[in-house]
Structure 1
Amino acid sequence: MNSKYDIIIVGAGAAGFFTAINIVEKNPKLKVAILERGKEVLTKVRISGGGRCNVTHACFVPNDLVKFYPRGEKELRGPFHQFCSGDTIEWFEKHGVELKIEDDGRMFPISDSSQTIIDCFTNATKKLGIDVLTNQSVQSIFKAEDYWKVETNSETFACQKLVMTTGSNPKIWEMLTEIGHSVIEAVPSLFTFNIKDNRIKDLMGLSAFASVKVKNTKLESSGPLLITHWGMSGPGILRLSAWGARILADKNYQFILEVNWLNDLTFEETLEKLKELKLEHSKKAVSKKSPFDFPNRLWESLVLASEISEEIKWADLSKNQLHNLANQLTNGQFQVNGKSTFKEEFVTAGGIDLKEINFKTMESKLLENLFFAGEIVNIDAITGGFNFQNAWTGGFIIAEAITSK
């Protein structure tokens, strides 16, 4: 059986639906189909943001927004000038979905349910007559003279223009390399660090604002650091893992993490502060109460690690102990052995080489009428709605490019 369409979109995720809807809204005459290998559509949308769907981020200046993308910062500048977070809010509003901003800038539907976004998309595709075909696993893609042929496990499709929105799917990447594209190998991007260390052994659940650095590299970050059962997590760590995705993969996730629990205080400044505390609190036990802005239990643990026993008073601290403590506070060395995936926010760095895409249209520079949107390309962001924003922007630009030709 041979099914003909003007446009076929492979991948029924966020980018796929958004592209399809925008194309047909701009030109209702076009016959569009979305092919999905699984039984379900929009599965990542359903689980994103803990089932609430983190639609975008309240960062409205393109040149600021690009800074959240470890890969894609330079390339997304132009696209974000065409369709940015403000346009996303307006688009969803026009389609009956109101978004709200949370304190950290993340944006969700006011219903707090990803089902709202799923309904918005599925209702729009029904209304616009877009065919959403599930259980269609693509086996091959072939470029004929003036059309594309897509073979699935059950049918053969033909189309004028082909849009790939399959996320990080190695099988599809392989097919694309066979027809001439280069793929940057995928490595995990958002992950937490596995650390076994007595200093944090019984402190799971504690959080402190810290700056972190991977020893002997330029990789550094700061933000809330969360101690977990398996090591360290939190925004500061996740950001470090995103920017260091390639470097940390090359290290096989074995490296030394340097932690400054006082964030921006240096060793020297901390030592001075400790000397003042020694005079001020001379009769008090050092380990009893944290003089800094982080949890007492963490302070107690770092005091013990500095070879200062529980009952020692401030007045009795030796020069050596003061040095040890300043060092633990500003330059704690933690051995990282491996990583763990961060919740369901599994993101990879990798995908179609950005040099092979025209970012004015999201069209392949190598093969005419082949377009890409979403995580299939080598673009990824930290957590907070940024990966979805990349999907919406790519889909919008493709729709513009296809319907204005």
Structure 2
Amino acid sequence: MLPERVSVLVAGGGPAGFMAAISAAEAGVRDIHVLEATSEPLHKVRISGGGRCNVTHACWDPRALVGHYPRGSKELRGPFARFACADAVAWFEAHGLELVEEPDGRLFPRSNASSSVVATLRRAAAAAGVAVHTGVGVQQVAVRPGGGFTLQLRGAGLDHPLTALQAERLVLATGGHPSGRRLAQSLGHSLVAPVPSLFTLALAGDPLLDLAGVVMDPVRLVLELPEGGRERQQGPVLITHWGLSGPATLRLTAFAARALHAASYRATLVVDWTGGRSEQELEGWFQRARQDQARRQLANARPWPGLSRRLWLHLLASQAVDPSLRWADLPRRQQQALMRALRQSRHAVTGRGPFGEEFVTAGGIPLGEVTFSRMESRLQPDLYLVGELLDVDGVTGGFNFQHCWSSGWLAGQALASAAGSQASWLP
């Protein structure tokens, strides 16, 4: 049962909300209540990473860490100096969850199951005395004249359709849900309109789609936008039935999220399948192929071993080069055409792919309206804003969760500090 008055109310039972509640409780704050509008707290944690949950990333230098955030990199320097990836790893290990690093730096629970992360957070909350209420959401919020907040609640978890509650301090941790943005706006905050981030690129009608399943690494991508802007990324690329995916593509779309939205997701993508090799280096590969594989047909001998055979055959066809030609007989003009295709393959972006990655959006509460050392609103005292509600988003690899852990932990510490320095109006 929810009491009529609480010390701290956390709206949102996701990763940032749980971390804020737990860290505050472990620092000595009592009477903390988490409200989750759905029947399942930490649902996003459970389904993330295909049910594995990429908890964070082995990026140990906070100065390097901020580079993985298209929005918020400057503001996160201070928070990450206090609680970054190594601190998150230590926190989870102190609460009984061991994380293991994969070759690409991503960190997963040793169990390889997201349920272990959910169980750890639920267990830590219970041990700290945090009360979690499901099926209860905040419908409206108003500032009390004497301090604190009056909240109107709604949901299946209540005895009555609409119940009022008073909270001394409020944490909004509602993720990307519109309800949280609406509540923040009702308390005086503005909103950066959310747009999709971390998505695949559609290349409708492009012959490249016949190569679905091909992976190349490294690949250099250059996105040319209609208004003249450019965005560059490099890394693994996956060709799909609808376009391009893979880490390099997702990172590219994250950093170009707003520009692509403004361009209605129409642009030109220039692909360098060599991964940024110079023209001279590529020329050397072709020259060695002419010498070492002179009698072999082009179809059976690629210019370097890491080049996908399917992609090589596709490029031969695109340049009208006979695949049965021997390397010794390849005309110079056709060699130059193949080298251009390898280094500057141009494709028309026709939209976004059919789904995003980790449900990430770019947008939310403007960062200038938050004191990042405390995650407290600059506009309303005793209001804390954490997680994806803010205009902060990271690329794939555990970075979005890391922002949740860091912002939640900082809010928890600030709540403890406020509770220790201010007299409570609660009885």
TM-score using structure 2 length: 0.90
Pairwise CA distance, 1:44: 0.3
Pairwise CA distance, 1:354: 0.3
Specify the alignment match of 2:261 in structure 1.
249
Partners in 2 of 1:172 and 1:42 — Cα distance?
16
**Relative to structure 1, is the Cα distance of residues 241 and 150 closer, same or farther in structure 2, using a 3 angstrom cutoff?**
same
State the secondary structure of the residue aligned to 2:298. coil
Larger deviation: 288-297 or 13-22? 288-297
Deviations 1:261-286 (A, max 9, x none): 00112345434543553455443322
Specify the alignment match of 1:201 in structure 2.
209
State the secondary structure of the residue aligned to 1:287. helix
Specify the alignment match of 1:395 in structure 2.
408
Does the CA contact (< 8 Å) of 1:20 and 1:32 recur in 2?
A: yes
Aligned counterpart for 1:226 among listed residues 223, 238, 245: 238
Partners in 2 of 1:76 and 1:266 — Cα distance?
36
State the secondary structure of the residue aligned to 1:18. helix
Partners in 2 of 1:286 and 1:111 — Cα distance?
47
Within 5 Å, which residues of 2 pair with 1:286-325?
286-292=298-304, 293-325=306-338
Does the CA contact (< 8 Å) of 1:288 and 1:300 recur in 2?
A: no
Q: Which amino acid in 2 is paired with 1:322?
A: Q
Specify the alignment match of 2:422 in structure 1.
none
Tell me which stretches of 4 or more aligned residues in structure 1 moved more than 4 Å. 341-344
Specify the alignment match of 1:95 in structure 2.
95
Larger deviation: 395-404 or 279-288? 279-288
Aligned counterpart for 1:169 among listed residues 177, 180, 198: 177
State the secondary structure of the residue aligned to 2:275. coil
Pairwise CA distance, 1:103: 1.1
Pairwise CA distance, 1:343: 6.1
Does the CA contact (< 8 Å) of 1:2 and 1:155 recur in 2?
A: no
Specify the alignment match of 1:22 in structure 2.
23
State the secondary structure of the residue aligned to 2:74. helix
Specify the alignment match of 2:368 in structure 1.
355
Within 5 Å, which residues of 2 pair with 1:1-400?
3-28=4-29, 30-145=30-145, 146-153=147-154, 154-197=162-205, 199-209=207-217, 210-215=219-224, 216-267=228-279, 269-271=281-283, 273-275=285-287, 277-278=289-290, 280-292=292-304, 293-340=306-353, 342=355, 345-400=358-413
Partners in 2 of 1:27 and 1:86 — Cα distance?
24
Larger deviation: 241-250 or 216-225? 216-225
Does the CA contact (< 8 Å) of 2:8 and 2:169 recur in 1?
A: yes
**Relative to structure 1, is the Cα distance of residues 196 and 313 closer, same or farther in structure 2, using a 3 angstrom cutoff?**
farther
Give the number of aligned pairs.
404
Does the CA contact (< 8 Å) of 1:188 and 1:245 recur in 2?
A: yes
Partners in 2 of 1:278 and 1:233 — Cα distance?
33
Pairwise CA distance, 1:172: 2.2
Deviations 1:29-78 (A, max 9, x none): x2111111111110000011211111111111110111111111111111
Partners in 1 of 2:121 and 2:272 — Cα distance?
45
Q: Which amino acid in 2 is paired with 1:26?
A: A
Partners in 1 of 2:291 and 2:233 — Cα distance?
34
- Backbone CA RMSD of aligned residues: 1.8
Pairwise CA distance, 1:158: 0.8
Does the CA contact (< 8 Å) of 2:136 and 2:153 recur in 1?
A: yes
Pairwise CA distance, 1:18: 1.0
Structure 2: runs of 5+ lacking an equivalent: 155-161, 419-427
Pairwise CA distance, 1:223: 0.3
Partners in 1 of 2:183 and 2:250 — Cα distance?
31
State the secondary structure of the residue aligned to 1:383. coil
Larger deviation: 203-212 or 273-282? 273-282
Pairwise CA distance, 1:403: 0.9
Does the CA contact (< 8 Å) of 1:2 and 1:156 recur in 2?
A: no
Q: Which amino acid in 1 is paired with 2:403?
A: N
Does the CA contact (< 8 Å) of 1:197 and 1:334 recur in 2?
A: no
Partners in 2 of 1:276 and 1:100 — Cα distance?
42
Pairwise CA distance, 1:142: 0.9
Pairwise CA distance, 1:317: 3.0
**Relative to structure 1, is the Cα distance of residues 198 and 280 closer, same or farther in structure 2, using a 3 angstrom cutoff?**
farther
Q: Which amino acid in 2 is paired with 1:22?
A: S
Q: Which amino acid in 2 is paired with 1:214?
A: L
Q: Which amino acid in 2 is paired with 1:172?
A: G
Q: Which amino acid in 1 is paired with 2:23?
A: N
TM-score using structure 1 length: 0.95
Partners in 1 of 2:42 and 2:209 — Cα distance?
39
Pairwise CA distance, 1:334: 0.8
Pairwise CA distance, 1:113: 1.2
Larger deviation: 242-251 or 152-161? 152-161
**Relative to structure 1, is the Cα distance of residues 300 and 197 closer, same or farther in structure 2, using a 3 angstrom cutoff?**
farther
State the secondary structure of the residue aligned to 1:74. coil
Pairwise CA distance, 1:250: 1.0
Q: Which amino acid in 1 is paired with 2:223?
A: V
Does the CA contact (< 8 Å) of 2:293 and 2:301 recur in 1?
A: no
Q: Give the share of equivalent positions with the same residue, in percent.
A: 37
Specify the alignment match of 2:423 in structure 1.
none
Larger deviation: 228-237 or 213-222? 213-222
Deviations 1:224-263 (A, max 9, x none): 1111111111111111011111111111111110000001
